[in-house]
C-alpha cells in the first residue's frame, strides 16, 4: 500500500477509478470558475477542514468525489456562500451576490476616529447602513492594522490584543442585535 501525504486522500470517481490527490487540488477543480469570486484562503481552509474531517474524525483515507463534494458544500455554506452542485465537474461554489466588504483601517481613518469611542460609533453606523442593502455576508478586513492605528502602536501588545477582541465582540454583538441581519455571516480578518 502507498503511504499518502498528509494533505491527500484517495478519491473514488463515479467510473470506479481510485485516484490519490491532494484535497486542495480536488477542491479547486470542484469550485472551478467560481474560484475568481472566492478568496484563496477561504477555499484552502475549507479544503483543510474537509480533509481533517475525513482523515482524522472518520479515519478514512479513501472517499468518493460525491462525499467530498457534499462535505465541502456544507463548509462553504457555513462561510455564507451559496453552493450549487450537479454540473459536469461534480459541483461548483459561487458566492452570494450580497456580500459587504469593509476595510476597518480605512473606516477608522475616514471617520476621523481619534479615539476608540468614536471608532465604535462609526463602526455601528456603517454596519446599520450596510444592513439596509440586505447582505448575507459581512467581511471586515484589516483588523490588525486598524487596532495598531487606533492604539497608536508600532508593535503588537497586550493592549492591542484586548482592543482586537473588543472590536470582534462588538461586531458580533451589533450584528446579533439587528433584526434584519438574522442569518448573516460575519468574517473578520
Instruction: Give the total residue count for the chain.
Output: 189
Q: Is the pTM of the predicted complex or chain greater than 0.75?
A: no
Rg of the chain in Å (alpha carbons): 20
- Nearest partner of 15 among 50, 51, 64, judged by Cα: 64
- For residues 46 and 78, give the distance between their C-alpha atoms in angstroms, rounded to a whole number: 10
For the chain, give the percent of residues with pLDDT over 70.
70
Structure confidence by residue, pLDDT tens digits, 130-145: 887 776 677 888 999 9
- Nearest partner of 101 among 78, 122, 129, 130, judged by Cα: 130
Structure confidence by residue, pLDDT tens digits, 120-133: 988 998 888 888 77
Residue 20's H or E segment, with its range, is: strand 18-22
- For residues 156 and 174, give the distance between their C-alpha atoms in angstroms, rounded to a whole number: 26
Domain layout of the chain by residue ranges = 8-94, 99-188
Structure confidence by residue, pLDDT tens digits, 57-67: 888 778 887 88
SS3 of 8, please?
strand
Amino acid at each position: 500500500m502507498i503511504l499518502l501525504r498528509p494533505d491527500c486522500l484517495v478519491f473514488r470517481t463515479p467510473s470506479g477509478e481510485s485516484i490519490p490527490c491532494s484535497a486542495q487540488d480536488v477542491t479547486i477543480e470542484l469550485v472551478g470558475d467560481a474560484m475568481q469570486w472566492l478568496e484563496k484562503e477561504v477555499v484552502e481552509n475549507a479544503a483543510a477542514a474537509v480533509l481533517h474531517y475525513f482523515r482524522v474524525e472518520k479515519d478514512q483515507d479513501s472517499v468518493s468525489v460525491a462525499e467530498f463534494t457534499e462535505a465541502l458544500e456544507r463548509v462553504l455554506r457555513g462561510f455564507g456562500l451559496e453552493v450549487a452542485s450537479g454540473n459536469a465537474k461534480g459541483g461548483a461554489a459561487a458566492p452570494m451576490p450580497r456580500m459587504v466588504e469593509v476595510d476597518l483601517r480605512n473606516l477608522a481613518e475616514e471617520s476621523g476616529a481619534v479615539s476608540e469611542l468614536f471608532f465604535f460609533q462609526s463602526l455601528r453606523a456603517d454596519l446599520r447602513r450596510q444592513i439596509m442593502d440586505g447582505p448575507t455576508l459581512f467581511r471586515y478586513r484589516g483588523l490588525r492594522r486598524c487596532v495598531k492605528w487606533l492604539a497608536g502602536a508600532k508593535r503588537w501588545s497586550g493592549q492591542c490584543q484586548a482592543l482586537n477582541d473588543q472590536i470582534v465582540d462588538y461586531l458580533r454583538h451589533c450584528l446579533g442585535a439587528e433584526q434584519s441581519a438574522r442569518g448573516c455571516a460575519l468574517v473578520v480578518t
